Structure 1
Amino acid sequence: MSALFPKSASKTMVSLAEVRSHNSTLKNLAPGLVAVFVGGTSGISLYTAQEFARNTTSPHIYLIGRNETEAERIQKELKTINSSSTIDFIKKDVSLLRKVDEACKEIKEKEKKINLLFMTIGAMTFKGRTETEEGLDRKFALHYYARMRFIQNLAPLLTAAATDADPKASLSRVVSVYDPFIGKDKQPNFDDLSLKNNFSLGTCAAHASAMQNFALERFARLYPQTSFIHEQPGAVETGLAKSWALKPLYFLLRPLMVGKKESGERHLFASTAPRYAPRSKAEEKGVVVGADGVQGSGHYHLSYSGEADGESKISAELRKDRAEEKIWNHTEEVYKKVCDENGKY
C-alpha cells in the first residue's frame, strides 16, 4: 500500500521542470547504456523503461517478468519510441531465488556491464503467509530476498560500468522502488527475520523496508562506485489498480495521483541524476545527504518527488547494535540454503 500514500513533499522537492531539464541531457551520455527492469512489463518499471528509451541513445533494455504476451507488446512499443533501442525479455517468476539466479546468468552471458538495475517487483495481497517451494513467503521474497539477490549477482557488472574509461558511459545505479520509510522507525524481529512464526502483512512490510535499508547501505559501502536508491513512488496507477479490491481507492485518490508519464520521468531522474552520486563521488557539487545522514554516502532514501531523507534515531540505534550484520548474515543463510544447496529454507 506504500505506493498509494506518498511521504509528504517538502520545500526541497525536485520540480517537474528540473526533472525534464535533466532528462533532456541524457542523450549526451554514451550510446548503448544497459538497463535491467525487474518487473518491467507493467506499472512504474514500464513507465520508467519508456522514458529511458525516449531519452537515451541506442539503449539496451532488459525486461524481466512473467507476462510474455504483454512483453511482446511492450518490446514493439519501446522500439517505436526509439528505433535504435535493443529490447530483450527474460521470462522468470522471480519470487523464486533460483529463478533470479537463472535470469542473472542469462544477462551475464550477454553483457559485460550494466548501467542501471531498476526493481519494482512485488505482490499486493490480503492473504497471510504464502510459502513458496523455497520456504519463503512469496510477498516477502519479492520485496526483499529477490531484490537483494539481483544486486548481489549483478554487482560486478554495475562496477564494470562505473569504471568505464569513458565518463559518459560510467552511470552505475540501483533503484529499488518500495518504501524506505515504513521500516525506518521500526525494529525488525531479529529472532525471526524471515517471519516464519510471526507473519502479518504489516510486519512483512516493515521487515522488507528495514531490511532493504540496511542491506542497501551495506552494498553502498562494498561497491562505492555504484549508487543505491530506495524510493517511495507515491500514488501511481500500477497493475494494482486493476484489482477489484483497490479500484475504489484508486478512484478516490485519482486527483492526488502522479500521472504515468510524470512517474516515468521522475523515476528516470532518480535513476540518473548526479545529486544521488555513489560514495566515490560524494564530494561533487550538489550531492544530497544519504540515508545515514552523511552527504554522498551512496545510499539514498527518496520520496516520490526526489526529496532525500537522512538518518532516523531508531536506525542510528539499530546500526550501533549491528543490525546490518545480523540482517545480512540471515540473508546469506537463506541464499546458501536455497541457491547453493538447492534446498528449502
Structure 2
Amino acid sequence: MSALFPKTGTAVSLAEVRTHNTSLRNLAPGLVAIFVGGTSGISLYTAREFARNTTSPIIYLIGRNETEATRITQELKTINTGSTISFIKKDVSLLKKVDEACQEIKEKEKKVNLLFMTIGTMTLKGRNETPEGLDQKFALHYYSRMRFIQNLAPLLTTAAKDDDPKATLSRVVSVYDPFLGKNKKPNFADLSLKKNFSLGACAAHASAMQNFTLERFARLYPQTSFIHEQPGAVETGLAKRWAMKPLYVLMKPLLVEKKESGERHLFASTAPQYAPKAKAGEEGVVVGADGVKGSGHYHLTWSGGADGDGKVAEELRKDGAEEKIWTHTEEVYKKVCEEGGKY
C-alpha cells in the first residue's frame, strides 16, 4: 500500500490539523473558494470543512450533477448559515467549458482565495477522445486543471494583495498524485499520448506534467502557493459503482475517514507552512518540491508531509522539462481555446 500512503516528509497530527482549522474563524469574512469536482468525494468533504471553519465564505461548486449540487448547497447552508453557495454546471473535461466556468466566476468575483481541484475519472478503458482531441481522463487530470489556474491566476493574485492581512490567503490545491511521475521521464515526442496511450502512461504523464507546470506557476505567481497532493485511500463517489464496491470493502480498514480527509485537505489548503514563494522566509515553512525551502510549490502526502526533489526530476529540470511541457500545453490551449479547433 506504499503507493496509497507514501512515507515521506513529516506527517501532521490530526490534533494539529484540527487546532489550525478552528483558527480559520479568525480570518477575514468572505473568503472565496472554488471546488472543481465539488459535488462528490474529497472536494465535497473539504467544502464541508471550509464552510464549517470560516466566516461568511463564498463557495463555488463546479460539476455536472445538478441534483447533488442542490442537496449539497442546502447542506452547506445548514453548516454555515452565513455562507453563499453557487453551483456552476459544466463538463470540464472540455477546455471550452473550463473557460466558460472561469468567465462566470470572473463576472461575479474580483478575487479568489482557494482553487481546489479533484476532477478525474476512473476507467479501465483505453484512450477516450473528447471532441477537442484529448483523452478524457488526461484532460481532467492535467489540461483542464492547469487551464483553471491559468484563467484564475489574476484573481488569486488580487486576493494575495488584499489590504487586510487576514484576507490574503491565495492557494491552489490539485489532488492527484505527485509521486506517480516524480521519477519517470515523460515521452516528450508524444506528451498528449495521442499515439502511445496506456493507462499507466497517462497516469505518469498527468503527474509529471502537473509537477513541472505547478512549479512554473509558483515562479510566475510568487504570492500564491501551489500544492500537488496525494490523497491516500479515501471513499469517494467511485465506491458507489458496483465494480468498485468489492475493492472498497477490502480496503475499508485502510481508508481515511471522510471527515478526516476533509479536515486534512482544508489544512493543506490553508496552513502557513505551505507558504507562497513571496513568504519563503517565514517561520516553519517547509521544503518545496524542488528541494528549496519555501519555493511555493509543494508535493504533499495525504498526511501533510512535504517531499523534496528526486533524482530523475532533477535531471529533467536541468534538461528543460518545464519549458517543453508548457510549450506543448500552450499549443493545446491555442488550438482548442483560441482557434476553436481540435488538437
Per the normalisation by structure 2, the TM-score is 0.99
**CA distance, structure 2, for counterparts of residue 119 and residue 245 of structure 1:** 25
**Partners of 1:76 and 1:299 in 2: CA distance:** 34
- Gap regions ≥5 residues in structure 1: none
Q: Is 1:140 the counterpart of 2:156 in the alignment?
A: no
Please, which runs of 5 or more residues in structure 2 have no aligned partner?
Answer: none
How do residues 143-154 of structure 1 correspond to structure 2 at under 5 angstroms? 143-154=141-152
Residue equivalent to 1:62: 60
Take 2:330 and 2:7, find their aligned partners in 1: how far apart are those partners? Answer: 36
Aligned to 2:99: 101
| Residue-by-residue CA offset, 1:45-81 (whole Å, 9 max, x unaligned) | 0000000000000000000000000000000000000
Within 2, Cα distance between the matches of 1:146 and 1:64?
Answer: 12
Q: Secondary structure at the match of 1:280?
A: helix
- CA distance in 2 between counterparts of 1:12 and 1:280 reads 23
Q: Do the aligned residues in 2 keep the contact of 1:9 with 1:305 (CA within 8 Å)?
A: no
Aligned equivalent of 2:13: 15
Instruction: Quote the Cα distance in structure 2 between the aligned partners of 1:248 and 1:304.
Output: 23
Equivalent of residue 284 in structure 1, options 282, 285, 289: 282
Partner of 1:35: 33
Tell me how far 1:246 sits from its aligned partner. Answer: 1.7
Structure 2 counterpart of 1:165? 163
The correspondence for 2:260, drawn from 256, 259, 262, is 262
Answer yes or no: is the 8 Å Cα contact 2:8–2:301 preserved in 1. no
Quote the Cα distance in structure 2 between the aligned partners of 1:170 and 1:157.
Answer: 12
SS of residue in 1 equivalent to 2:115: strand
RMSD over aligned Cα, in angstroms?
Answer: 1.1
Q: Is the 8 A contact 2:8 2:307 kept in 1?
A: no
Query: Displacement, 1:149?
Result: 0.0
2-side partners of 1:7 and 1:259: how far apart?
14
Letter in 2 for 1:83: T
* Corresponding position of 1:92: 90
Q: Distance in 2 between matches of 1:211 and 1:151?
A: 14
Deviation for aligned residue 1:211: 0.1
Corresponding letter in the other structure for 1:6 = L
Structure 1 segments of 4 or more deviating over 6 A?
none
Deviation at 1:10, TM superposition (A): 5.3
Q: Do residues 244 (structure 1) and 229 (structure 2) align?
A: no
Alignment of 1:205-224 (within 5 A): 205-224=203-222
Q: What is the alpha-carbon distance in structure 1 between the residues aligned to residue 122 and residue 14 of structure 2?
A: 29
Q: Specify which of 110, 119, 129 is matched with residue 131 of structure 1.
A: 129
Is the Cα–Cα contact under 8 Å of residues 34 and 60 in structure 1 kept in the other structure? yes
Deviation at residue 5 of structure 1 after TM alignment: 4.4
- Kept in 2, the 8 Å contact 1:6–1:303? The answer is no
Query: For 2:116, what is the secondary structure of its paired residue?
Result: strand
**Structure 2 residue identity aligned to 1:168:** K
| Aligned counterparts of 2:313 and 2:8: Cα–Cα separation in 1 | 21
Aligned partners of 1:275 and 1:330: how far apart in 2? 32
Contact 1:231 1:304 (8 Å CA) reproduced = yes
Name the structure 2 match of 1:315: 313
